Chain A
Amino acid sequence: MTPREVDPRELRARYPDVFDRPASARLAMPAMIVAAFALLIYGLVDLDFSPSRFFAGLSQLGWITLMMIPPDPGSSLPIYLKALGETLSIALLGTTLAAVFALPVSLLAARNIIPSQILRFPVRRFLDSIRGVDTLIWALVWINVVGLGPFAGVLAIAVSDFGAFGKLFSEAIEGADQKQVEGIRASGGSPLHEIRFGLLPQVLPVIAGQVLYFIESNTRSATIIGIVGAGGIGLQLAEQIRVLEWQKVSFLILMILVAVAAIDFISGKLRFAIIGRRAVA
């Protein structure tokens, strides 16, 4: 094939949808970008961003960072280690509690167990509203009920994860293979038998993977619920930030980073051991 001279006009005529796109299609993208940035500018003005304030804050932040070096726990290392243990306990216990309570409820929200839309709908909306409220808000509520301390943190994580687990578990149950359930039914099993022998063996590994993943992410949540007074390392962190002990702050942040990385590593290994090298939703 020999290359030949191409007449641009001929190309234009042949591919009108490439060369002569209507103005509306060509302007849509720039218009969206302009609108997005207009909203950004409006937001910056409305939220009191001023360059002078920004740069003053930035130089402050520079000072703070300088004062953070080197990280140094002072004499409070044992307290911090205990607080870290508390944080891990909160994450583990809260997630487990949530999973235990969410499993039966998730059965009620699964389409293949409760076929009736009317029965399922309120359960789903209930779970949705629980999920709509942030863990920190639940922590504040529980502090009002059981007082300051890590126990309120456990309950806060348990409640907010209950909503998330209910949804995830019911999705796992809906994705399960019905053939095994039908097999149990064909051999004369009761509906409870169907769930126990047909459904649970299929969904338990998936659920275990999700629980482990949540323990991982709850370690992060548990580090912050202390900020409102619900125990754990966040309490120490918030306190040291308030009294401007920057070396201790940086040490605490490092501790959190190391702990989160360690939990990530361990639960990643466990997850692969339980469900094999499959992606966890």
Chain B
Amino acid sequence: MTTAVSILPEQQLAVLNAAYRRAVGRRRLRLLGGIAIVAAALVLAAIGAEVNLRTLFTYFGNFVSYFDRILTLDSGQRVWTDAGEWLWGWRKWLKMLGETLLISYVGTLIGATFAFLLNFFAAENTSPAPWLRFVVRRLLEFARTVPGIVFALIFVIAFGLGPMAGVLAIAIHSTGALGKLFSEIVENADMKPVEGIRSTGASWLSCMRFAVVPQVTAGYASYALLRFEINVREASVMGFVGAGGIGQELVVAIRKFYYSDVSAILLTIIVTVFIIDITTGWLRSHLFGKEART
């Protein structure tokens, strides 16, 4: 099959070509300008972060061989040839993992409870007074922006070493994060039921309880589960600052160069995180249906 393509006369084409070139040229210039700015920022950042490529190249072999070493037993064999020797501390590690999960569970539940109590004051459509909304929003913002591990550092000093500090740190951080998400759900809720309840002469509390809460619980539970998932990761490093959980074991193993232990603990953490991800994902899609997945 042959097709004919009609070509415009030379003069018309030249004008169109010139216009096209100009348009493209302008876009290219803007792109180049953008790239130049980004490159300058990167160079500045590289100086600021003391990037030393020579160190990287000299020691990059170390990075690769580090993984080689953590996958080697003291006897010189690969770790998977002798699972009993590799996972020798599984009893202790499982117990610490259990503690980690418990920390994130308790932290998430306390955080979700506080977020639940506060979010009606932070949502635009249900807050009883503007000043209250402002105060609660700033509080939540503060709790959300300060990293959990900074809270943990301070709490370790106030409450002493141990999982209590980790739980409270996770609870505060979760309150901030969930409070915002919860209040967004409330802002999207249908206000007609609220008007219906209010027209019967009900108090603010009854309006929340009977008109808003039934609409939003599925969304709340979904977000809380997602938060639990995130908190498991968070709790796995709380031990770095002495706030309980498996992180304690890991940091000791890394700092003292117990190579095969590092890989064994990392493996248990990764497997746990996988399992939790899959379980909460399944729970969220099956228990709360499609509308809750935002």
Residues of A within 8 A of B (CB): 36, 39-40, 43-44, 46-49, 53-54, 57-58, 60-61, 64, 85-86, 88-90, 92-93, 96, 128-129, 132-134, 136-137, 140-142, 144-147, 149-151, 153-155, 220-221, 223-224, 227-228, 231, 234, 237-238, 241, 244, 249, 253, 256-257, 260-261
Contact = CB atoms under 8 A, between A and B. Distances in A.
Nearest to A92: B45
A39 B59 CA distance: 47
B49 A132 contact: no
Interface stretch (B78-86, B123-131, B145-153): B145-153
A227 B149 contact: yes
B250 interface: yes
B136 interface: no
Interface stretch (B1-9, B157-165, B189-197): B157-165
A231 B50 CA distance: 10
Contacts of A85: 48
B140 to A, nearest CB: 13
Given A57-B158, A90-B49, A237-B150, A140 B66 contact: no
B49 A154 contact: yes
5 contacts: A85-B48, A132-B269, A134-B236, A140-B250, A256-B145
A203 B139 CA distance: 37
B63 A145 contact: yes
B38 to A, nearest CB: 8
Interface string B109-148: 1000000000000000000000000000000001001110
A49 B164 contact: yes
B244 A47 contact: yes
Closest 5 CB pairs of A and B: A57-B159, A89-B48, A89-B45, A89-B49, A43-B106
B159 A54 contact: yes
A89 B59 contact: no
B204 to A, nearest CB: 24
Interface string B248-267: 00110011000000000010
Interface string B54-74: 011001101100100000000
A60 B157 CA distance: 9
A215 to B, nearest CB: 10
Contacts of B163: 47-48
A89 B46 contact: yes
A139 to B, nearest CB: 10
A231 B157 contact: no
A145 B236 CA distance: 22
Contacts of A88: 45, 48
A58 to B, nearest CB: 8
Interface residues of B, number: 58
A133 B270 contact: yes
B49 A93 contact: yes
A89 B236 CA distance: 26
B51 A227 contact: no
A260 B176 CA distance: 15
A227 B241 contact: yes
A151 B269 contact: no
A205 B71 CA distance: 40
B158 A132 contact: no
**Most chain A Cβ neighbours within 10 Å, of B60, B157, B274:** B157
A220 B145 contact: yes
A137 B55 contact: no
A199 B56 CA distance: 33
A93 B236 contact: no
Given A89-B49, A237-B150, 8 more contacts: A47-B163, A93-B45, A93-B51, A132-B233, A132-B273, A134-B237, A228-B251, A238-B241
Nearest to A61: B158
Contacts of A220: 145, 147
Contact of A47 (B41, B99, B153, B241): B99
B146 A39 contact: no
Contacts of A40: 105-106, 109
Given A47-B164, A53-B164, A64-B158, A227 B49 contact: no
A224 B99 contact: no
Contacts of B251: 140, 228
A100 B36 CA distance: 16
A241 B244 contact: no
A7 to B, nearest CB: 23
Contacts of A57: 155, 158-160, 164
A142 B44 CA distance: 22
Contacts of A49: 164, 167
A224 B240 CA distance: 11
B42 interface: yes
Contact of B49 (A43, A86, A241, A257): A86
A274 B240 CA distance: 39
Of the candidates B51, B59, B251, B273, the one having the most CB atoms from chain A within 10 angstroms of its own CB is B51
Contacts of B158: 57-58, 60-61, 64
A145 B254 CA distance: 12
Nearest to A223: B147
B14 interface: no
